[in-house]
Every structure is written in C-alpha cells, then in structure tokens.
Amino acid sequence: MNFETVIGLEVHIELATKTKIFCGCKNEFGGEPNTHCCPVCIGMPGVLPVLNEKVVEFAAKAGLALDCKIANFSKMDRKGYYYPDLPKAYQISQFDLPICIGGHVDYKDGDIEKRVNITRIHMEEDAGKLLHEAGTGTAVDYNRCGVPLIEIVTEPDLRSADEAKAFLETLKSIIQYTGVSDCKMQEGSLRCDVNVSVREVGSTVLGTRTEMKNLNSFSAVHGAIEAESARQIALITDGGKVTQETRRFDDIKGKSYAMRGKEEAHDYRYFPDPDLVPITITDEQIALYRDSLPELPTAKKQRFIDELGLPEYDADLLTGERAIADFFEASIAAYNEPKKTSNFIMTDLLRLLKENGVEPDDNPVQPIQLAQTLKLIDDGKINVTVGKTVFEDVFKTGDDPSSIVEAKGLTQINDTVELSGMIKQIIADNPKPVADFKGGNKKALTFFVGQVMKATKGKANPKVVNEIVQEELKNA
Ligand code: ADP
Ligand code: ZN
Ligand code: MG
C-alpha cells in the first residue's frame, strides 16, 4: 500500500502589544518570575478582565495579511482546562465566533507554488510557565499568563514535513512584516501544534490523526512529522490502528510518546465569557486596519524585481525577513546602488549574521555603514577585498567604515609612480615567471599581480596593478 501524509497545523503567535490581553501588566519576555502580574492575570476570583483593543487590531491585521475575512461580530469564550500554569482553571479563548475566518497562504516548496487554506484565527490568552528544577521541584512563573495570542488553524492541506516547514517560514515572514509579532521562536513567540494522519494514496477520507503540541522550532516540526508519519505507516502496515491522541515529541531522540487521549471540543465545556462583551468591528474600521498594513513580502519582492531591476533570486532572499528588507531599503536610500547593495548583503552580511549566530533583528550594522562602505569602494578609496574586511570590522566593532580605513591605513594605493617602481623591482627579482610569461604562459601575470597585492597588504588598486604589470612585462 502507498501512503500519503496529511498535516494540519495550529500556530500560536504571541502578539507584540505593550500590555497583556485583559489587564495593564507589561507584555514583555523574561523579567524576574512573577513580576509582570496582577490579580486579573493570576486569576483571582471576582476580578474583571477588560479586552485590550490593540489585541483586536493586531489579530485583525494578521487576518487581513493572510486574506481572511474579518468578522464584524465575534466573542470571547471560556475553555475549561485545568493546568497549574493556568490559575483560573479556564482559558479565555474564542470558540464558535472567531475574529478571522478563511484565508490562505501561498508559499513555495522548492520551485513549486503551493497554497494552504486557513480555517480560522482566534484570539486567546497565554498560560504561565512551569519551571522544573532538578532537586527542588516545580516552580511556576505567571509572567506569561495573559500574554495575548492568536491561534492560526490551517486546513489539513499539507502533505509532507518539507511543505510544513516551507509554509511556516512564509507564514512567519508575513506575520513579521505586519509587525504584530516578532515571531521569535527561541523566546516562544511562535509555537506550533502538529496534527498528523496517513491514508492510502488516492483516498479522499482523512485517517485518524494524532497531535503533537507546542513545538518551538521548525526543525522540531519537521522531525515530528517525519517520525509520526513513519510510526503510523508501520502501525497500519502491521495490521494495527492509529488511536486519536496527544503525543509528546522528543526533539533529541526524534521519537514521540503517547501522552493522553485526545479531548473533543465538548470536553472543554466552552461557554461565552460572561465578563466580556462581544466584539463588533465595523467595515470602516476593517478598511482602516487594511490601509495601515505595510507592504507585504510578495508585493515587495515584485517591486524589487520591477523597479530596482534585481534578479528574482536576490529579491527572494532580501524580502524573506523584514529586518533584511528594511536594511536593504535604508541602505539604498543612502546610496542608490541596488545590485551592489544586494550582493554585499547576500554574500557578506548574511554570512556574518550566520557565523556569529546573530538574528537579522539584532544586526549590529547600520544601513548607512553599508552605503558608506560601497561608496568608499566606488570612489576608489579602497578595493573590493579590503571593503569586505572593513565591513567585517564594522560588524564587529560598530565603527564607521571611513574611521576603520583611516585607523588601519587601508586606503587604496592608486599612485601609478609608486606602483610602477614596486612592479619593476618585483619583475627584476623574478626572472623565471618573466620567462614563462614571454613563453606564452599567461598565468604568470596572476603571479605578479599577487606579489604586488602581497607587498601592499592588499591595498593596491587591482585594476591599475594589472595594467602596469602587463605594460612592464612587455618591456622586460
Ligand atoms: P483541535 O485540535 O483543537 O481539536 P481541530 O479539530 O480544529 O482542533 O483541528 C485542529 C487541526 O487538525 C487543524 O489544523 C486540522 O487541519 C487538523 N486536522 C484535522 N483532522 C486531521 C487529520 N485527519 N489529519 C491531519 N490533520 C487533521
Ligand atoms: Zn495582570
Ligand atoms: Mg489541536
């Protein structure tokens, strides 16, 4: 039997509002445990939650960016759920009337354009965090309680771990562009529940699914899907049956374990939260939200191709992360050389970020500093090779390119008299390569250029050196 894997995702994204969803406490990652809390977010009886308007705005903007329909009328519901990090013993979420419905994400799996449909997006509150400390037991930090979340639920449209990863990368990029979340996975701002089933190729009915909750890296999502689909296929091939359940995926072992039977919606005893009024959003308000959205990655990419004349490859790489696209645009605003800027970002900046484990958001280089580096090269003050080391210094020290060039004496040597003298000497000292050159070995030319660059510590203008070496070799 040939199997196909079917995947649906529930993506939780923390919204970057200043305050929490139902109280005025700071919404900020980290902080001393239990310092961003108040009676409302730690669930004291008798307190009254008030919905933060920014949460509605951010959720609607995320929905608009994903082509969802924004509901004119929605409401908050209580989801009964006991867990030590959820002190009210229920979570305020949305059940039958979520804020966004429908929508889709177009993404590329390799070279192939694919689409994932969005079922819904709802608003809800995050739970706290349990800290399991060896020896001392488990502590709880309520700082995260009441941090606003949106949950994006997809249709079961994905067919492989690779598709899921590619879709998530696109989704993350779009949400980052809207500015409603930083999507920092290492801080838990984007977490994913993965639902997996398998079925015979050609079948149109869905198989029984299992769910793995709270995966916080794309590689964990990828690993969980591969491992779980292999497990289900082996089970069915052996004559067994998949049980609908929640499983825990161990990223390090690459295996999942049964945790508990899957609960059904009716187990949660959803009911409208009597403390919160329903949410009405007018069409005019929705139009305002739509107008306030920035240019999104697909549109930006197309503009980079059409208006700046960049190759599709460059435009793709530059627009993948908003921080990189913003950096690129600010840099060309200071020095309008799109292709040179793009080359430098792709080969040097992205490499330095990767090598140093720095996120694009924390890029230490100012856009103007890249513009200045490129201008120093174009003005003949430094050559390209030196430009690359100067840029590396800018990255490490934050100093301006011109001060680095000055402090390190890296100014390009363009002086033909000085270079001619040096070249004559090198030619005189190396009779063998001269003879080679005369004998028709053009590679000997590279040898002499190399010697000059070495003697000048890479500072000579390579174009000038090349011309003089050719000239002098003719005369030698
Ligand atoms: P919950 O998991 O909270 O009960 P839903 O029933 O809405 O919520 O389903 C959640 C996710 O599971 C959705 O992303 C949906 O696409 C996916 N899903 C549902 N059935 C299957 C299936 N048979 N195989 C794979 N994914 C599925
Ligand atoms: Zn609070
Ligand atoms: Mg689920």
What is the block-wise mean pLDDT of the chain (476 residues), using blocks of 10 residues? 96 98 96 96 95 98 98 97 92 98 96 96 96 90 97 98 97 96 92 97 95 93 96 96 91 84 80 97 98 96 97 95 96 97 97 95 96 95 92 96 89 85 89 86 86 87 88 82
Backbone φ and ψ of 74, nearest 5°: -145, 175
In angstroms, what is the span from residue 8 Cα to ligand 3's centroid?
9
Ligand nearest to the CA of 210: 1
Scored b (16 or more CB within 10 A) or e, 390-420 reads bbebbbeeeebbbebbeeeebebbbeeeebb
Q: Is 109 helix (H, G, I), strand (E, B) or coil?
A: strand
Q: Read off the pLDDT of residues 48-103 as tens digits, 9 standing for 90 and up.
A: 999 999 999 999 999 999 999 999 999 999 999 888 999 999 999 999 999 999 99
Are the C-beta atoms of 142 and 202 separated by less than 8 Å?
A: no
Q: How many helices (H) and strands (E) does the chain have?
A: 16, 17
Nearest atom (ligand 1) to Cα of 155:
16
Which residues span the domain enclosing 352?
Answer: 295-408
Same domain membership, residue 180 and residue 164: yes
Rounded alpha-carbon distances, angstroms, from residue 94 to 61, 121, 271, 318, 452: 17, 9, 9, 36, 71
Same domain membership, residue 232 and residue 333: no
Same domain membership, residue 394 and residue 302: yes
| Beta strand segments in 126-189, E | 129-133, 137-141, 148-154
CA 209 to chain centre: 28
Same domain membership, residue 273 and residue 337: no
Q: Read off the pLDDT of residues 373-415 as tens digits, 9 standing for 90 and up.
A: 999 999 988 989 999 999 999 999 999 999 999 888 888 888 8
- Which of 258, 286, 314 terminates a domain? The answer is 286
d(CA 164, CA 42): 35
Ligand 1 binding pocket includes 9 (Cβ within 6 Å): yes
Residue given tokens 């009597």 in the structure block: 274
- Phi and psi based region of residue 180 (left: phi greater than 0; alpha: psi -120 to 50; beta: remaining): alpha
Ligand 1 binding pocket includes 154 (Cβ within 6 Å): yes
The count of other CB atoms within 10 Å of the CB of residue 122 is: 23
Same domain membership, residue 352 and residue 394: yes
Are the C-beta atoms of 332 and 344 separated by less than 8 Å?
A: no
> Which residues are paired to 123 by β-bridges?
150
Nearest atom (ligand 1) to Cα of 206:
23
Domain total of the chain: 3
Same domain membership, residue 329 and residue 465: no
Same domain membership, residue 145 and residue 23: yes
d(CA 419, CA 414): 8
**DSSP state letters, 323-351:** HHHHHHHHHHHHS--HHHHHHHIIIIIHH
Best of 9, 93, 152, 209 to mutate for ligand 1, by most ligand atoms within 8 A of CB?
209
- Which of 286, 319, 353 terminates a domain? The answer is 286
Same domain membership, residue 110 and residue 236: yes
What six digits make up the tokens of 301?
Answer: 């990419």
Question: What local confidence, expressed as pLDDT, does residue 59 receive?
Answer: 98
Question: What local confidence, expressed as pLDDT, does residue 413 receive?
Answer: 85
What six digits make up the tokens of 381?
Answer: 């003050």
- Which of 242, 261, 286 terminates a domain? The answer is 286
The enclosing domain of 464 has a CATH number of: 1.10.10.410
Ligand 1 binding pocket includes 195 (Cβ within 6 Å): yes
Same domain membership, residue 106 and residue 251: yes
d(CA 53, CA 264): 31
**End-to-end Cα, the chain, rounded Å:** 77
Instruction: Tell me the Cα Rg of the chain.
Output: 29
Same domain membership, residue 163 and residue 28: yes
What six digits make up the tokens of 209?
Answer: 């699914």
Same domain membership, residue 129 and residue 44: yes
Question: What local confidence, expressed as pLDDT, does residue 86 receive?
Answer: 94
Same domain membership, residue 9 and residue 125: yes
pTM over 0.85: yes
